[in-house]
Structure formats: C-alpha cells, structure tokens
Amino acid sequence: MDIEFHYYITGLIAAKAGFPPDQATIIAHSSQYVDDNDIRYEIDKGKASSYRNYISQTMNILKPKAKLLRIYPIFHFIPGDPKAKTAWRKDGKLHWLNTTPNSSNANGIMDKALESDDIYRIGIAAHGYVDTWAHQNFVGYYADFNALAGPLESATPNIGHADARHHPDWPGLVWRDQRLIEERVDNKARFLAASIHLLEKLARFVDNKMDAKELGIRKKALTRDLKKAIGETDQSNSWAGERTAKYIELSESEAYGSSRLVKYDPEQWFDDVVNEQVRGLRDRSDSLLTRFDPASDIYTWRNSKKRKQSDWYKFQEAVKSHQSETWEILEASNLKGLQLEAL
C-alpha cells in the first residue's frame, strides 16, 4: 500500500471508528510516516539533549540481512501462516516468513499497540497490519520465494515485492501473481478487507462496549464509501489524484468527523521541532550523490525543553517500542529457531 491507504484511507477509518479528528490525523500521519522515516539522525550531537532515532523504512535493499530483518518483517511484511489458503502456490513452496493476511502475529502486534494506548504506535501498527493484505505472499527478506518470472524481474533483487514493483500497492489494480494457484489479484477487494478489519480493531478500542449491530452499520457504510471512492479498475494508477480528492471530500462529511484531512507533508513533524544546517549536499535529498558527500548536515532542537512534546519525538519513541515488542512476538513464533543468515 502507499499513501492513498496508509494516510487517507487510514484517516477515514480512524474517524469512522470514533477517534476525534486530531487523533485520527495523528494515526493517519504515523501510519504513512512509517514509509518516510528512512533517515537516522542525531539531534544535538554531543549535548545532554542528544537524541538518535530508529528508522522504520529503507530504500537501500542492499543493506546487510540482519539490518533488513529489523525493518521489513516488523513494519512491512509481518510473517504469518505459511500454510494459509491464500498462500497456496503452484510449486508447493512454503516460507516461514511469508506474509499472510490477518495472521495471528499481525493481530497480536496490532493488539499490543492498542494496549499501549499510544496513538502514534497505533498508527505505526496499523501500517503493518493492513500491509498483510497488500504484501501477502512476499517475504521481507532476501529469498527466491519472492521471485516473479520475466526479464526485468530476473534483474531485480528478490526481496519483498520488488519483482512486482508497485502492483501490490495500487488500490484500483487487478494483476496476476503467476506463483499462486489463484493467480488473479484484485487489490480493491484486498484493500476493502483490510479496511473492515482495521475498522473493527479501532472501533473496539474506542468503545469496547460497541454492539455488533452498530459495528455492522459502520462496516457497511465504510465499505460502500470506499468502493465508490476507489471506483473502477485503474491499471496504471492514473486516477490516484481523483481518488484522493474523494477521500478528502469524505473526511469533510459528518460521517467522518467533519474535519478535512490536510495534505500529508512527510517533513512537517521533523521541521516543526528540528533546525537543519546543510553542509554540502542536503542529507535529506533524494539524490544518490548524498551518500558520497563527506560533510554531514547538523541538526539541533528548536526548543530542547519541549522536544518530548513534539509529534516527531513521540513518533520516534513509538517506533522504538513497536520494534522491540514486535521482535519479541516474532522471536517466539516464526523466527524461533531459524538460522536466518543461512536462509
């Protein structure tokens, strides 16, 4: 999934679940920021207020396996049930780290986040939880299990859904995963299923006494609204802008909190609390040349006394807690006994 689901649809789901607008926005922003939190910073280096964050995403798929294992299976490809019907392949292969939708691990991780009562962590966990539908049948690790047939695919590292490119992430796409017995993949159907399950999790958190009838009404309304907003099949993702406008329009309706979802800015939380002194090429640039720039940028708190009240700091602390507790869950289940470097 991409920003369409992780920010806009997640924001709608949180609002439909009953979160007030400000909290629904934080959940949505945290969910999407998981994908954008890909740079390690040291703020106020050498001072008592020094702080280092963890990353929850990396575009560098050439990182050592151990480092990738601390990112992809925790935040993006939660290992599930290798024997699930959705994972049945023509070659009969299984992988113990295979992502499967709504697995016991995914539920346990999401429930742990809800128990924390930390809305930043709830957003972080929501990202990985719904990605178990989008990323199903891929492993967040180097494995031939991920390989798809084709000349372009054969040149791509077999990690995650790199061979499938953005196909699993586009809401309106229908595509084929030739590894599976059931080849046809309808992303809209997958995304709607993820939406309903996330709604139930969040709604039960907001009101643990909500009866089945009320929850059913909300599920039905959400399904109807998202079906209409996502619309018809879109093989090239060319209607993403139109869909986003529909999500924003829905957010302004009474049924979704009557509060317009603001445009997502990946740098907003960081810029609100951190000063940046660029030396040479900007470290936050998307340019590959920044990797070869010997001069590192300098980062300082705008107000060190209030840093812990900032969205960015709270998000980063939630990332650390989520990584630690998720690792414990996975070590006791799918990772137990595996000699990972030998995979």
Spatial separation of the C-alpha atoms in residues 21 and 14, rounded to whole Å: 9
> Length of the chain in residues, anyone?
343
pLDDT at 334 over 80: yes
pLDDT in tens, 17-75: 999 999 999 999 999 999 999 999 999 999 999 999 999 998 775 555 566 778 999 99
Closest CA to 286 of 263, 258, 267: 267
Average pLDDT across the chain, whole number: 94
Q: What is the pLDDT of residue 49?
A: 97
In the chain, where are the structural domains located? 3-342
| DSSP, res 156 | S
Q: What is the pLDDT of residue 199?
A: 98
* This prediction's pTM: 0.95
How many other C-beta atoms are found inside a 10 Å radius of the C-beta of residue 294?
7
Burial of 60 (0-12, 13-18, 19+ CB in 10 A): exposed
Distances (CA, A) of 116 to 94, 109, 122, 182, 194: 33, 11, 8, 38, 22
Q: What is the pLDDT of residue 343?
A: 32
